[in-house]
Amino acid sequence: MKKQLDSQTISKRTGERLGHIKNGSVVDNPWQTLRRYTDARIGLGRAGISLPTSAMLGFQLSHAKARDAVKLRLDTELLSQQLQQQLGEFTVDFPHSPIVLHSQAFDRTSFLQRPDLGRKLNGASRNSLLNFMTQQEGDSEPEYDLAIVVADGLSSLAVQHNAVPFLKQFIARIHNEKRPARLAPLTIIEQGRVAIGDEVGESLNAKAVLLLIGERPGLSSPDSLGVYFTWDPKVGVNDSQRNCISNIRPAGLGFDDAAQRAMYLLTQARRIKRSGIQLKDHSDYTSRDVLTQGGLPKRSFLTKPS
């Protein structure tokens, strides 16, 4: 005769299977209280010698989000519309519509398997930039202070969500400068990697390039936007000549703070004509720090600026 289980026993066994019961099957970790300070997977507890079911399901969900961020195609048409709408008040700075370009990586698979192809523009994109330049100002080639390039990189999700709010903060700062930088038309690149910004900057005859790109997703950050700044961009530039601002997203480095850092790099680079290891980011320090301490103070990277 089949044994009948009461409702309390059924509920207990279901809870044990899902890992939600704290009755001895799941052992809490004393470090769990620290999780309110970080997205890192610490203090997960255990069920026997394994992770609790809830922690395992959370890991699988984060892994799926990271994979989606890599494989989802960047909607360049939507991004172009968002840029024109959100930056509409700065039409003086951007009189031209964004130019959509493509790397030599034909699709996402070739982009992932052949990183070198993602660093070069394809033939049609090179012709687009060449045609744009020949149409400007007759025989005299225009010269720009800065070219802003948006590339999907390894997280189209980061670009789709965070490129526009960052640029809105950054362009506002340029617009309010006493000597605003002359901006090349915005470019959006599909299947692009960091170095492709150098070719775009050189083709547009720009003194500097600011590349916005989706960073390699982490399990707690599938939407991190990175910004790379390079003075005197040209094909073959070494990575040591770039400055990077990383982890730009609502749960990471805020848009206002990131825009301030990018503006600092641009301002200092225009002054010293350098970038990369020859241009340090001291945007955290105020002029008061320099005056009162006789120079830039030494600060531990483990502490936040006051």
Residue 271 pLDDT: 92
| 244 annotated binding-site participant | yes
Provide the CATH topology of domain 76-280: Rossmann fold (3.40.50)
pLDDT at 298: 54
> Binding residue per annotation — 235?
no
Taking only the tens place, the pLDDT of each residue in 173-228 is: 998 888 888 999 999 999 999 999 999 999 999 999 999 999 999 888 899 999 99
SS3 of the chain: CCCCCCHHHHHHHHHHHHCCCCCCCCECCHHHHHHHHCCCCCCCCEECCECCHHHHHHHHHHHHHHHHHHHCCCCHHHHHHHHHHHCHHHCCCCCCCCEEEEECCCCHHHHHHCCCHHHCECHHHHHHHHHHHHHCCCCCCCCECEEEEEECCCCHHHHHHHHHHHHHHHHHHHHCCCCCCCECCCEEEECCCCCHHHHHHHHCCECEEEEEEECCCECCECCCEEEEEEECCCCCCCHHHEEEEEEECCCCECHHHHHHHHHHHHHHHHHHCCCHHHCCCCCCCCHHHHHHHCCCCCCCCCCCCC
* Domain residue ranges of the chain, discontinuous segments joined by +: 76-280
26 is an annotated ligand-binding site residue: no
**Residue ranges of the chain whose pLDDT lies below 70:** 1-24, 137-139, 285-306
The confidence score (pLDDT) of residue 297 equals: 52
